Structures are given as structure tokens and as C-alpha cells.
Structure 1
Amino acid sequence: MATAQAEDGRIVTTSIPARLDRLPWSRWHWTIVIGLGTVWILDGLEVTVVGNIAGRLSEPGSGLPISSGEVTGIAAALYVAGACSGALFWGRLTDRYGRKKLFMITLIVYLAATALTAVSFQTWWFFAFRFLTGFGIGGEYAAINSAIDELIPAFHRGRVDLIINGSFWVGAVFGSLLSIVALNTAILPADVGWRLTFALGAVLALVILLVRRHVPESPRWLLIHGREDEAERIVSSIEERVEAERGEQLPAPEGEITIHQRKSISFLEIGRTLFSDYRRRSVLGFSLFIGQAFLYNAITFGFGAILTKFYDVPTGNTGYYFAVIAVGNFFGPLLLGKLFDTVGRRTMISSTYLLSGLLLFGTAWLFDRGSLNATTLTACWCAVLFFASAGASSAYLTVSEIFPMETRAMSIAFFYAIGTAAGGITGPLVFADLTESGVVGDTTLAFQIGAGLMCAAGIVAAFLAVNAERRSLEDIATPLTAVVAKAGAAVKGAATPGTSGTSGTSGTPIRRRPA
């Protein structure tokens, strides 16, 4: 390790990022996926359960004096507000105090809030803990996406990130089926079933919390924040486990990074990074999040109302249709995820956005002509959301990998908050009257708005998307702490192949040198 004492910290040279990226897939990586990726299942479970129990909560004997409109309106808005504010609040702390500390804290906040929701005895109590549940979930998005991208090898990062983000819909399917059982008064009393659905979410969170104890801090974060020896121990331990599993020595890492360690980055520097140094990438992030938010609201906000008003589907049966489109949503990232690492980010992001938008335009045309029934409309939605889900998941992948390491969690939080606010606040204002009016032309217009914005985002991606496939995070966006050589060139992580000079488990050690 080369280290020079500087005004704000030390200067170190290491191959740790390259060593992480050259790792083959192993059981250790599955531990990361299970420990960190399951939060989206919890989010899907939460959102679906609340939508499905709205009718039961408003009934006499539910144990809570609340109306259906308050559940789907005020409580839902508070959950969204909590998620947006939580993402921004915890995102800043994640960049400053570390990934592991924050993904443990935010899960504990979620666990406690959803457990206390289960024992709600007054409306204000239910509202307060819906906000705090969202507050925890919002923080999870920033902390988890940061950790996943920094721990998963570059060769697999795209598909893993997409599948994990798409697992929201696994939770949605589970929530739909759980609600059918829990709300059956022949099985559970009216004032018990809905409480058990929230209690189960807390139990699942507790299990995930136990698994997460074994997930390490991001070595990349440790390296930048002056804890290079701890980063070295973690990476060496991972390499030993992988070598023991495979029965062979790992290849030498290719490339080094030289950084000037710093404890924190100011808000001014974060703002300058997003809106000046990387403004084209910020435009891309805005476009992707707004496009997917409006498309999903165009379809899902009035989902039940469309089926009941136009096709006379009983209210109690809409959950089965929702489960079908939720499955389509999950299979999109599952089946298309690998192509984001092979065909490439630019091609796949733009094509999934454009295809889903064009398919929704076609669905709107068929709906307006009266050519669809409940089954064929659901089939059309499945086709639209198969591509849209992969595109929406790629939005989270994009903003988590195209900005510098020091601003990663805050960048994720910022764009997540923008997209969530657009979906949870602007979306209902735009689509509520259109999808619930019972007028064919209004619902067609809702479809066309969502489709138009999705296509627009796809066009933006065709020009501005970053070719990040199989590239080191440090190569995609040079860290703000990267040392600039006297000749004027930044020394990037995994930059120049063949510079490591050593092979074996630890590759190039962290070197200390005079300034």
C-alpha cells in the first residue's frame, strides 16, 4: 500500500475494486443477493396488502375507525411521502457513514413500523406508522442498491440488479394471495386477519435482518473513508472463500486506483457533480424515472376500476388479474436481465422503454375500439409490463452506477424520490378522474399519456444512456477522490490492464509511499 499524508487524509493506491470485479460467481454472492435483495419483496408485499385490505379496514368490526378512501388516499400518500423523505434522509447518511450501518438501521425502522401498524387502535396511529414504514423502505433503496453494485462483479452487475429490483412483483403476488386468505372471515376474525398481514411483514423483515448480519461493509466505501486495512481483510476473506469453493487460484486483478481519502463530501460538491459535471446523465435519470412512473400509474392506478366498470369483473376477483400481471412484471427482468450485460445498456434500456410504450399505444387503440375483454386486456397489460418492468428496473441500475462512488447513495435517493413523488403524487392527480370516470375516451387518454412519456424516455436513453456493461464502477464514473497525476490524467479503478504485477489471492496489496 502506498500512502502519503495529505491535508484532508491519506493517499492510497490499491487494486481492491479490480479484485472484486474479477471474482467469479459464487455462494458468497448468493448470500449478498438473499441478504440485500429481498427488501423489494417486502415493498411489493406492503403496497399490495394495503390496497387489498382497504375494503376490510373500513367495515364495522375491523377494530379501526377508518374509511376505505382514507386507506387508499391519505395512508397511501403518507407511505409515499415517507419513502421519498426517507430516501433523501438515509441516502445522505449512507454515503457518509457506510452501507452496512444504514441497511441495518433502515430495515429495523421498517420492521418496527410495520409491526406497530399491526396493532393500530386509532386512525392517527395507522397513518403515523404507514409514514414511518415508507420512511424505512425509502432508505433501504439507497443503502441496498449502493451495496449491491459495489459488491457484485461487473460481469454480473446488470442482470443481478434488474432481477433484484424486479422482485418487487414477487412480493406483490405474495401480498395478493396472502390477502385472500387473511381477509377470509371464515378463517380469521375481521379484526385479526388484516393485522396478521402486517405482522407477517415484520417477521419476514426479522429473518432478513438475521441474514444481513453476515453481509460485509462495502470495501470500496471503506477504502475511500480511510479504512483500507479493513477493506483488505474483507476482500482477502472473500477471495479465500471463492478459491476454496472452486479449488483453484484466482487470476491476477487488472488495474489499480489511487485515491485521496476523505471522510465526507459536501452538499455543494454533490450538487455540482449531479447538475454540472454529469448533467447529461442527470437528464437521463430524470427521464427514465418519470417515464416508468407515469406508465405504471396509467395502468395500475385504476386497475380495479377499469375491470369492474368496463367488464363487470366482481371486485373480489380483481386480485387474480393483478396476480397475473405481477407475474409478467417479474419475468421481464428475469428473462431479459442477462441481455443488459451482453447486448448492452444503451440498446436494452432504450428498446424496453420504446417497446413498452408502443405496446401500450396499441392497447389504447384496441381498448378505444372495444376490441378487448377483461382477459385480453390483462394479456395486453402483461405484454406491456414484461418490457416496462425490465426498463423500470434498469432505471434504478442506471442511477446507481453512472455517478461517482462518493455520491452513489444520494444519487439513487434523489432520483428515486423524484420518480416516487411523480408516481405517488402527480400520477393520482393526472389519472384518478380519467381511469375512474367510466368513459372509454378518458381511460384511452390515460394509456396514451403513460405510453408517450415512456417512449420519450426511450428516445432520451438512445442518445444519453451510458455503455456501462461489464465495466468497473470506477471506470464508468471516476471517484471524486481519485488522485490526478501530475501529467493531468486521473488514475481510474480497473483502468490499465496488466498493471497489477502480482497474482494470487490478494493481487496487488495496498501500498504505502511517501508523498
Structure 2
Amino acid sequence: MSNIESIKIAARLDRLPASRTLWKLIVLISLGGLFEYYDLFFTGYVAPGMTRSGLFTPASLGVFASLAGIKVAGFGTFVFSTFAGLWVGVALFSQLADRYGRRPVFTWSLVWYACCTIVMAFQHTGEMLNVWRFIAGVGFGVQLVTIDTYISELTPLALRGRSFSVNQFVSLSAVPAVALLAWLLVPVTPLGLDGWRWVVLIGSGGAIVTWFLVRRVPESPRWLALHGRMKEADAITADIERRIETEIGKPLPSPHVEAEEDDGEGRFSEIFSSRYWRRTLMLSVFNMAQVIGFYGFAAWVPTLLIARGIAVTHSLEYSFIIAIANPFGPLLGTFFADYFERKTQIVAGLIVMGLSMLGFAHVTAPIVLIALGVLFTLAANVMSYAYHNYQAELYPTRIRARAVGFVYSWSRIAAAFAGLAIGYFLNLGGTLAVATFIAIAMTVGIIVIGVFGPSTKGIALERISH
């Protein structure tokens, strides 16, 4: 019974037109992701300040001290801890959103990571910094997965592409903000506190404020209906419908039920069933590949610029200029996100990322370095909003969060080790070695998505899961 009713709720949501009501919900959810991305991206921008504070000397690394032979691996351990925490969050705790709902996991994971990051900002050894970075990572790992499932389930069929591009535009607006703050604060010590600590604290404070805003977002009606909570699902859907009808000044069209979602127990093992194992394998390999380019550049851009002969101060300045491009990739996507296949957008983004990174390794002129960095960033974020949408589309509501969590977890563990690998390659062969490593990873991503990825454009979520 709940399955039939959930399809009726889905049909009512899928026929909703674009409206201020819907975009407001998307923006509110995206605000939760705003400070997740702030937290993720400050990793690279505070690196020079952390290193200058002596936090990553062999004496301060504790159990990581054996890695100090790699010159930049001291900070590499911080990158490793970030993504190791993310991996635990997405791999072990993403299932909570399938079990207890999107809304409670979405809101309380925001509080978790904000509080842990505040504690991290006051640590005075590299080892304890890494420990608290790991714990905080668990919180925002869960948050990122829940956001993807939330948006895919609340958004009408015709707006799914644009909703993810708007989501990423809002979230990635944090990147130029953190880059600007790092440029202004990392070289100085306001009130006697290291500038990088201020960068961390500003993000955590903003996340706590955001928590009060996102509490206004309703639970996913699709999730409620699937769990037999039809009165709540109907009430939320009816409220959205009523507000949209008032806004557009006419009745909504009748819902059209296209397909029923298959019955299933919603167990984790279902993602390896005959219907889904190919998608699970494809997305797992893709996530390992794409993250090497996406965070391999973003988390290391100031260090890579220094390796290209740019002074530390100018490195942060140029990094800020490159960072401004982050939200504009998804913003461009609003013009074509629902007109081209998701997999086509992903492959195109990967191709441009690989080529621009190879170009970055061969030039020295600051203006060309910045231009290639901007091009890489635009392509990376077109690829990013498209694949976040894509992987959430490929699984049914009953297992969406845990399935996305599993495939996404491979990007987190790959990023953890890629942070160490990029430190190694940078020391071994400079920026060219790093660029080659990234280009190879992009090629792998192109092959698995281009050859094995199914089409999803214009298809209802419930039909895609068939």
C-alpha cells in the first residue's frame, strides 16, 4: 500500500512547475551545503598558515611522523584526515537518512561538524588537529549525501538538472569567500590568534546560524510515503501545491502516474542485486577517479602555484581569483542542465579538466596559470553538479541515501590517499607529475561513465530505478 501511495505523491511532485516556492526550498537546502563546501575548501587555502605555524613538523605529527620524509606530506596528513572522516560519514552513517528521514540527519549533521570544527580550530599540534578534522569530517560526510537525496526527491522531473546546478551554485559560493578570507587573514594574526584559525572559526559560526534557517525545510514527502506516513506526506505535498497555485494564479495540472517503484525491503545488499550492481560498480570507479582531479586541484591550488614559482602571498591572491570561478560553473549549467544528458555533461567536464591541468603544468606566466585554473574550475563544477544529480537518480527512494553513500564513499577514501599521493608526486616530479596523475584519473572517469552510464534525462525517478 505504501508503495502505491508513494507513487501518487511522486506524481504530484513531478508535475509541479518552476516557482519561487520550489526554488526557496532548493536554496534553503543548499545553504546547508554552503558551509560544508566552505569547510572542505578551506583545506587548501589555510595550508600555508598551518605549515608556517609549525603544526606539521615531524615532532607535531605523532603517529603521522613517519610520513615526514615527503616534504609536503605533513599537510598531506591533514588532507588525509579530512577525507578519511568523510569516508566514515558517507560509508557508515549515510544509511541513517534512509532509516530516520532526510530532515533530521540533514540538520543535526550540520551541528555535529560545526561544533567539532570549532574545537579543531584551537588545537596546537598537528596530531590533534588531524584527530578533530577526522571527527568533523564524519559530520559533513553524512550531510553531503543527504543533500543529494533530499534535492532529487523534492524536485519535479523537469527541474532536476537545474535544481542541482542551483544547489551547487549556492554551495560553491563559499569557495571564493573562504579564498578571500584566507588571502586577507592567513598572513596575519588578528587579536593574537593565527589567521588560519579565524578562517576556520568564521565558517563554523556561519554554519550554526544556517542551522536555524534550514530547520524550515520539510521532510521529503517521497520518503514519508514510502514509510507509510501518508498523512504527513500528503500534508507537506498539499502545502507546497497550495503555495504554488497561489503564486501562479491557476490550478495545477492533474498528476500522471508513469511507473511504480519496485517492491523491496530497502536493505543495503540491494545495491549489489542483479538490477543495480552494474550501476554501483560504475559509480564507485567513477567516484574514485573524479575526486583525484576535483580535490587534487582545489585542495592544493596554493601549493601548486608555489611550485610553479609564485610567491606565497601572490599564491593566495591568485588562488582567490581562481576560486571566484567556482560558483559560475553551476550557474552556467542552469542554461543547459536539463537539455543535455547528465552523462554527456560529466564526460565533457572531465575532458576539459584533464587538458587544462596538463596545460597548467607547462606554463609559468601568472595570467595563463590563472586562466587555466579558472577553466579547470569551471569544468570541474559543471562535472560536479551533473554527477551529484546523476548518482542520486540511479537508485530508488528506499535505498537512495545508502546507495549514494556507498558509491560516494569511494571518492572520500580515494581523496584521502590522493592527498598523500599528490604530495608525493609534487615532491618527485613537480606540477607535471601531479598533472599526469590527474589526467590519467580523468581518462578512467570518462571511460566508465561514457561507456557504461545509462541515460536519465527526462525520465521519472521511479522509472529510472527500473
Q: CA deviation at 1:13?
A: 7.0
- The correspondence for 1:447, drawn from 431, 435, 453, is 435
- The structure with the larger Rg is 1
TM-score by length of 2: 0.87
Structure 1 counterpart of 2:382, one-letter code: A
Query: What does residue 472 of structure 1 align with?
Result: 460
Q: Which runs of 5+ in 2 are unaligned?
A: 62-70
Change (3 A) 1:302 1:92: closer
Structure 1 letter corresponding to 2:140: I
Structure 1 unaligned blocks of 5 or more? 4-8, 479-515
Aligned to 2:214: 212
Judged with a 3 Å threshold, the aligned counterparts in structure 2 of structure 1 residues 374 and 11 are, in CA distance, closer, same or farther, namely closer
* Structure-2 change in CA distance of 1:259 and 1:474 (3 Å): closer
1:423 to 388, 403, 415: 415
Rounded to whole Å, the distance in 1 between the matches of 2:125 and 2:343 is 50
1:458 partnered with 2:451: no
Residues 1:49 and 2:50 aligned together: no
Shift of 1:464: 2.6
Q: Equivalents in 2 of 1:53, 1:40: separation in Å? A: 20
Higher helix proportion (structure 1 or 2): 2
**Contact 1:332 1:385 survives alignment (8 Å):** yes
Match of 1:294 in 2: 292
Name the Cα RMSD after superposition. 3.0
Distance in 2 between residues matched to 1:178 and 1:286, nearest whole Å? 34
Correspondence for 2:405 among 413, 424, 429? 413
Structure 2: distance between partners of 1:201 and 1:89 = 25
Structure 2 CA distance for partners of 1:372 and 1:466, relative to 1, 3 Å: same
1:173 alignment partner, SS class:
helix
The one-letter code of the counterpart of 1:243 is: E
**In the alignment, which residue of structure 2 is the partner of 1:348?**
345
Residue type matched to 1:266 in 2? Answer: R
Name the residue aligned to 1:374.
366
CA–CA separation in structure 2 for the residues paired with 1:242 and 1:327: 34
Q: How far has the Cα of 1:48 moved from its partner?
A: 3.7
- Counterparts of 2:440 and 2:79 in 1: how far apart (Å)? 26
Match of residue 146, structure 1, among 149, 164, 182: 149
Partner of 1:498: none
Which whole-Å CA distance do the structure 2 matches of 1:287 and 1:30 have between them?
33
Q: Which position in structure 1 is the counterpart of 2:66?
A: none
Corresponding residue for residue 223 of structure 1? 225
1:159 and 2:162 matched = yes
Shift in Å, 1:259: 6.4
Match of 1:328, SS state, is coil
Residue of structure 1 equivalent to 2:201 = 199
For 1:223 and 1:172, how far apart are their aligned partners in 2? 37
Tell me if 1:278 matches 2:276: yes
DSSP-derived class of the 1:155 partner: helix
What is the match of residue 424 of structure 2?
433
Indicate if the aligned counterparts of 1:81 and 1:421 stay in contact, CA closer than 8 A: yes
Deviation by residue 1:213-246 (Cα, 9 ceiling, x = unmatched)? 1111111111111111211111111100111111
Asked if 1:172 corresponds to 2:175, the answer is yes
Name the CA shift for 1:114/1:238 in 2 (closer, same or farther; >3 Å). Answer: same
Cα shift at 1:136: 0.7
- Distance (Å, rounded) in 1 between the aligned partners of 2:262 and 2:298: 48
Aligned partners of 1:13, 1:164: CA distance in 2, in Å?
Answer: 25
User: Is 1:35 equivalent to 2:28 in the alignment?
Assistant: yes
In structure 2, how many angstroms separate the alpha carbons of the residues matched to 1:146 and 1:13? 16
| Change in CA separation of 1:405 and 1:115 when aligned onto 2, cut-off 3 Å | same
SS in 2 for 1:214: coil
Q: Is the 8 A contact 2:13 2:156 kept in 1?
A: yes
Q: Report SS of the residue matched to 2:158.
A: coil
Match of 2:93 among 90, 94, 114: 90
Residue 10 of structure 1, CA deviation: 8.0
Partner amino acid for 2:443?
C
Distance 1:148 1:436, change over 3 A: same
Residue 327 of structure 1 pairs with residue 324 of structure 2: yes
Instruction: Determine if the alignment matches structure 1 residue 19 to structure 2 residue 22.
Output: no
> Is structure 2 residue 124 aligned with structure 1 residue 128?
no
Q: Quick one: distance in 1 between partners of 2:261 and 2:52? A: 61
Aligned to 2:65: none
| Counterparts in 2 of 1:301 and 1:47: CA distance versus 1, 3 Å | closer
Q: Distance between the aligned counterparts of 2:114 and 2:157, measured in 1?
A: 32
**2:378 corresponding residue in structure 1:** 386
Select between 323-332 and 395-404 the one with higher mean Cα deviation. Answer: 323-332
Percent of aligned pairs with the same amino acid: 27
- Provide closer, same or farther for how the CA distance between residues 147 and 375 of structure 1 changes in structure 2, counting only shifts above 3 A: same
CA offset at residue 256 of structure 1? 5.9
1:193 to partner: Cα distance: 4.1
CA shift for structure 1 position 353:
2.2
CA distance in 2 between counterparts of 1:12 and 1:433 reads: 54
Q: Post-superposition shift, 1:339?
A: 1.8
* CA deviation after TM superposition for structure 1 residue 84, in Å: 0.8
Aligned to 1:79: 82
CA displacement, residues 48-83 of structure 1 (integer Å, 9 cap, x when unaligned): 434443444465799x99579787233332221111
The 3-state SS of whatever aligns with 1:38 is helix
- Pair 1:456–1:267, CA change in 2 (3 A): closer
Question: Is the 1:44–1:175 contact (alpha carbons within 8 Å) kept by the matching residues of 2?
Answer: no
Post-superposition Cα deviations, 1:322-376, rounded to whole Å, max 9, x if no partner, equal 1222223332221034423112223322222233334444555xx1xxx542321
Among residues 217, 233, 240, which one is paired with 1:238 in the alignment? 240
What is the match of residue 510 of structure 1? none
**Equivalent position SS for 2:399:** helix
Distance 2:51 2:432 in 1: 31
1:252 corresponding residue in structure 2: 254
Q: Is the 8 A contact 1:95 1:409 kept in 2?
A: yes
Deviation at 1:92, TM superposition (A): 0.9
Whole-angstrom distance in 2 between the partners of 1:88 and 1:60: 33
Residue 101 of structure 2 contacts residue 219 of structure 2 at CA under 8 Å; is this kept in 1?
A: yes
Q: Which residue identity lines up with residue 267 of structure 1 in the other structure?
A: F
In 1, the alpha carbon distance for the partners of 2:45 and 2:90 equals 25
Rounded to whole Å, the distance in 2 between the matches of 1:431 and 1:192 is 26
| CA shift in 2, pair 1:250/1:399, >3 Å | same
SS of the counterpart of 1:342?
coil
Task: State the shift of 1:206 in Å.
Answer: 1.9
How far apart, in 1, do the equivalents of 2:47 and 2:352 lie?
Answer: 34
